[in-house]
């Protein structure tokens, strides 16, 4: 799959976010083995620790559907739903990086942070989470 298409899914997923406190709407699109894309959106909560990031929403939704092998994730976030041209990149938080690590090979899994379908950065999870701790360490 073309990463631009994955970014489009992430941009669209922003429309489903629930961000009444921060106003920061994030969408994520997770590419599974076999080509299926599962999207997630951030879901805030008045009790801030109960908030779920878009990345974890997508991964947990995929796992709940029996999917556990992932190739890439695209993430797009920003304060204005009215535009597809975001002003900054929405990098995954530490908890999301660790959840990604649970289900992927960090040297192979691609994390894309995008401001638009033409303006994005691409990393391996190892680059974003060096010297990580995963299931094989237990």
**Lookup: tokens for 125:** 């999870």
Residue 108 sits in a domain whose CATH number is: 3.40.140.10
Query: What angle in degrees, to the nearest 10, is found between the helix axes of 3-13 and 54-64?
Result: 100
Instruction: Give the closest residue to 76 by CA, choosing from 27, 39, 110, 117.
Output: 27
Of 55, 82, 127, 136, the active-site residue reads 55
10-residue stretch averages of pLDDT, the chain, 138 residues long = 94 96 96 96 96 98 97 92 80 98 97 96 98 91
Note the pLDDT of residue 87: 87
Q: Quote the number of domains for the chain.
A: 1
Q: What is the pTM of this model?
A: 0.94
Give residue 13's pLDDT: 97
**Complete DSSP assignment for 50-113:** G-B-HHHHHHHHHHHTT---EEEEEEEEES-TT-S--SS--PPPHHHHHHHHHHS-TTT-EEEE
**Cα(117)–Cα(127) distance, integer angstroms:** 22
CB-hemisphere CA count at 13 Å for 74?
A: 27
108 classed as catalytic: no
Q: What is the pLDDT of residue 83?
A: 64
List the domain range (segments joined by +) for residue 30.
Answer: 3-137
What's the pLDDT at 81?
Answer: 75
């Amino acid at each position: 799959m073309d990463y631009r298409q994955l970014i489009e899914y992430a941009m669209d997923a922003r429309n489903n976010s629930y961000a009444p406190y921060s106003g920061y709407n994030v969408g994520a699109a997770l590419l599974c083995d076999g080509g299926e894309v599962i999207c997630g959106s951030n879901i805030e909560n008045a009790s801030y620790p109960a908030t779920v990031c878009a990345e974890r929403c997508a991964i947990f939704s995929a796992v709940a559907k029996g999917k556990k092998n992932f190739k890439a994730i695209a993430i797009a976030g920003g304060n204005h739903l009215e535009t597809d041209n975001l002003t900054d990149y929405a990098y995954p938080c530490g908890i999301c990086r660790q959840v990604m690590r649970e289900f992927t090979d960090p040297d192979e899994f691609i994390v894309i942070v995008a401001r638009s379908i033409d303006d994005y950065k691409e990393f391996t999870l190892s680059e974003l989470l060096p010297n990580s701790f995963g299931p094989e360490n237990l």
